Structure 1
Amino acid sequence: MANFYAMLLTIVTIVFGLIWLFDAQVLKPKRQQRIADEEKRLQQELTEEDGQRIAPQSGIAEFAQSVFPILFVILLLRSFVYEPFRIPSASMMPTLLEGDFILVEKFSYSLRDPIWRSELLEIDRPERGEVAVFKFPPDPQYDYIKRVVGLPGDRIIYRNKTLYIQPACDAAGNDCPAPRVIERTLVRSDAIYFNKSTPLEQYDEYLGETKHSTLVDPTLGGSDRFYFKQQGTARDEWIVPEGQYFVMGDNRDNSEDSRFWGFVPEENLVGRAVFIWMSFEMDRSASSWLPQWVPTGIRWERLGGVE
C-alpha cells in the first residue's frame, strides 16, 4: 500500500508528460501551420484569440500542460527530498504520538527510484539512535517507523526490560568490549502515558549521541517467548548481520519491532524522520456524531524536530 501512491503519482506524471510532449511536438506545429495558412489567405496577422479560435488546443492537452510541471515537482520532492508520513500507532510514544504528521528526509541514506526502489546513489548509513522509516521486512508494502538501536555487527541484548549493546568489533574478538547497559534515567511514573488503564514509566535513554524518551509498562511480564530466534544466540540476544539494522519502538512494551520479526536490510530504508509539521488530537468519544477520524484539536507544542 505504501508504494501504491508512489507508483500512482509516477504513472500519472508520466501520462500527463507524454500528452504534453505529444501536443508540443506534433499537434502544436500543425496548429501553427494552420494559423499561418489562414494569415496568408487573409493577408493579415491574426490575434492570439483568433488563432485559438481557428486552431484550438484540446482541453486534455491544455490540462496536461498546466498540471505536468506541478506533478513533476511533487514527484521529485516526494521521491528524493522529503515525504510526509502519518503516525498511525502508539509504538513510538512519547517521541511520536498517534496523529503526528512528520517529514521524512529521503536523501539521508540513499537515492532510490520511486517504483522499483533500486539504489541510484549511496549517501550515508543510519547512525545509532536515529528515527528511521523503512519498508516492513515481512511485508514491504507497508512503511514502519522505529529507532535504530543496532548497527551491522552489533550484539543486542534486551533482558528484563533493559537494553545492552556490544558494538561490532574485529572478527577475532580480541578487542571486543563487554556488552554495556544503555544508560537511562527514570523521569516519571505518574499518570501521563497509559497502556489502557496502566500508567507507564517514562525514562530518558542515552543511545549513542541521542537522548530520547522511552516508556515501559512495569506490570507487563517478559514477552521473550515471542521473540525472533536467531540461530546460535540466546532467545533475548541478536547479532546484527552485515548490511542490516536492529530497530525498536520507544514504547518498549507496545511495539512490534526487530525483537519479534528480525532485522531491517539496507535496501528497505526509506529515510530519516526529521520534523513534526502537524499534530492532531484524535480522542473523539464514541458517542460523538462526527466520525472518529475527524481531529478534536491541534497539538501546536509538538511541532518541531524529531529527536
Structure 2
Amino acid sequence: MKTSFSAKKQGKVLSAVSAIREWVSSVFLAAMAAALIRWMVIGLYVIPSGSMEPTLLTGDFVLVSKIHYGARTPATPLQIPITHQTIPGTKIPSYLDWIQLPQYRLPGLSKIKRNDIIVFNTPIGVHPPDLREYWIKRCIGLPGDWVHITHKQLYVNHTPADPAGKVQYCYFMKTKRILNNAFFEKNDIKNPVLSTVPGHEGYTIYTTPEKVKQLTTVLPTYIQSVDPVEDEVGSLKSNIHSAFGWTKDNFGPLQVPNKGMVIPMDAQHILLYGATIQRFEEKKNIRFTEAACWIDGQKVDRYTFCKNYYFAMGDNRDQSGDSRFIGFIPEDHILGKAVMVLLSSDRSKSFFSGIRWNRLFHIIN
C-alpha cells in the first residue's frame, strides 16, 4: 500500500514538473517568436509628442514596417528579448555593451523615399546606437540632396518641397476680442497661447497654411491678421547656426552626404560635416582643427564619405527637434517605415474615453 501511495505521489510530482516545463517552454518560444517578428517584420511604437502634427498625434500607436527597408542585424546582441534600454518597470539596463557587432541590413521591399515617415535611433545619446531613443520624422532629404529653408519654405534641390496640407507652422493671430475654447476646437487648433501685450492682443498658434487662409477669409469678424513667427538670427546657439547665420526658419543650403561624395577639408566643410565624419564614419584616428583634418596621422585635403545619410524634419516644423538641430541621420540608424496608426488615444483623457475612433487603422502618408 505504501509503495502504491508513494508511486502515485511521485507520479503527481513528475506530472507537475512536466506541466511547468511545458509552460516555461511555451513562454520561451512565444517570446522568441515575438522578438523575431519585432526584429524582422513590424513593431508598435507610441507617439510621445506633437512634433509630427498634424500627420501624427500624441498618443497614436503606430505600426512600423521593418521589411520595407530591410531589418537591421543586432549590433548589441547581449540584450533581453522584447526590451529596449531597461527592464520594463525598472531602471535596470536590459543589455550589456560588452560585445558590439558590425551592423548589416537585410534585403527590403523598397529604398527610402523622399517624404517617407521614418523611425530611427537618434544620433545623439549615451546608449549604443541601436538602443538609443526612437524618433519619428519625415525624410525630406535623400543622400546627395540639397536642402534649403527660406522664410519657413522648404526647398529640396532648389524646388519647393513641403507636402501639401501635411505641415504646420507657428503664427501670431491678432484678434479683435478674446476667443473661447470652442473656437479653437472647431478649427482644430491645439494649445493656443494668449498674448495680452498692449498692441499685440491675440494668440500664438500652430496650424497649417491652409487653415490660415480659411481663418483670414472666413472669419474676419474675429481676426485682424495671421502672420508667421520667425526665429531671429542668433536664437540657435550651435556653432554651425551661429557661423552661417542660420535659424530653423532660414537654413542652408546644405548638401546631404552620400556614399562616395568628396568634400574639401577646409574650414567651411569641417564646420558643416566634421561632426558627422567624427561620429559616424568609423574612423579610429581622426582629428580636426579649424581648417584641417588628420586621419591616421596624415593630413587629408579631401574626404570621401563611406555612408549614406538622410535629412529628416517633423511636420510640426516649429516644434520639432530634427536634422536642423541634431544633424544628418546615418542610414544604419534608420529602423523602418511608419505605415499605419493602429490605435489612438488622447493623453489628456483616460485611455478608453480618449480613443480617437476616426484614427483606427489610419494609413500614414
**TM-score, structure 1 as length reference:** 0.65
1:234 positional shift: 7.2
Residue 201 of structure 1 aligns to which amino acid in structure 2? T
Q: Secondary structure at the match of 2:61?
A: strand
Residue 307 of structure 2 is aligned to residue 272 of structure 1: no
Q: Secondary structure at the match of 2:71?
A: strand
Alignment correspondent of 1:194: 190
Match 1:136 to one of 115, 122, 125: 122
Instruction: Give the whole-Å Cα distance in 1 for the aligned partners of 2:105 and 2:150.
Output: 39
Alignment correspondent of 1:241: 257
Give 1:266-305 correspondences, 5 Å limit.
266-284=331-349, 296-303=353-360, 304-305=362-363
Q: Secondary structure at the match of 1:78?
A: helix
Match 2:230 to one of 202, 221, 229: 221
- Structure 2 regions of 5+ residues with no counterpart? 77-101, 174-182, 194-203, 211-225, 259-307
The 1:74–1:254 alpha-carbon spacing in structure 2 relative to 1, beyond 3 Å, is same
8 Å contact from structure 2 (residues 73, 106) kept in 1: no
Instruction: Give the whole-Å Cα distance in 1 for the aligned partners of 2:124 and 2:137.
Output: 15
8 Å contact from structure 1 (residues 135, 270) kept in 2: yes
The 1:113–1:128 alpha-carbon spacing in structure 2 relative to 1, beyond 3 Å, is same
How many aligned positions are there? 230
Match 2:103 to one of 94, 101, 118: 118
Instruction: Give the whole-Å Cα distance in 2 for the aligned partners of 1:239 and 1:252.
Output: 20
Residue 356 of structure 2 aligns to which amino acid in structure 1? R
1:61 positional shift: 2.8
Query: 1:162-195 deviations in whole A, cap 9, x for unaligned?
Result: 00111xxxxxxxxxxxx11226667999842235
Query: 1:203-262 deviations in whole A, cap 9, x for unaligned?
Result: 47xxxxxxxxxxxx9442226642772899773112101100000000011000001111
CA RMSD across the alignment: 3.4
1:200 positional shift: 2.8
The 1:89–1:53 alpha-carbon spacing in structure 2 relative to 1, beyond 3 Å, is closer
8 Å contact from structure 1 (residues 160, 222) kept in 2: no
Instruction: Give the whole-Å Cα distance in 2 for the aligned partners of 1:151 and 1:100.
Output: 26
8 Å contact from structure 1 (residues 156, 239) kept in 2: yes
Alignment correspondent of 2:56: 96
8 Å contact from structure 1 (residues 84, 101) kept in 2: yes
**TM-score, structure 2 as length reference:** 0.55
Alignment correspondent of 1:127: 113
| Identity of matched residues, % | 33
The 1:181–1:53 alpha-carbon spacing in structure 2 relative to 1, beyond 3 Å, is closer
1:91 positional shift: 0.2
Residue 45 of structure 2 aligns to which amino acid in structure 1? F
1:149 positional shift: 0.2
8 Å contact from structure 1 (residues 135, 268) kept in 2: yes
The 1:255–1:228 alpha-carbon spacing in structure 2 relative to 1, beyond 3 Å, is farther
Q: Secondary structure at the match of 2:63?
A: strand
1:125 positional shift: 2.8
Give 1:47-58 correspondences, 5 Å limit.
53=13, 57=17
Match 2:322 to one of 257, 280, 299: 257
Instruction: Give the whole-Å Cα distance in 2 for the aligned partners of 1:219 and 1:152.
Output: 30
Instruction: Give the whole-Å Cα distance in 1 for the aligned partners of 2:342 and 2:241.
Output: 38
The 1:255–1:231 alpha-carbon spacing in structure 2 relative to 1, beyond 3 Å, is closer
Instruction: Give the whole-Å Cα distance in 2 for the aligned partners of 1:223 and 1:266.
Output: 32
Query: 1:2-31 deviations in whole A, cap 9, x for unaligned?
Result: xxxxxxxxxxxxxxxxxxxxxxxxxxxxxx
Q: Secondary structure at the match of 1:229?
A: helix
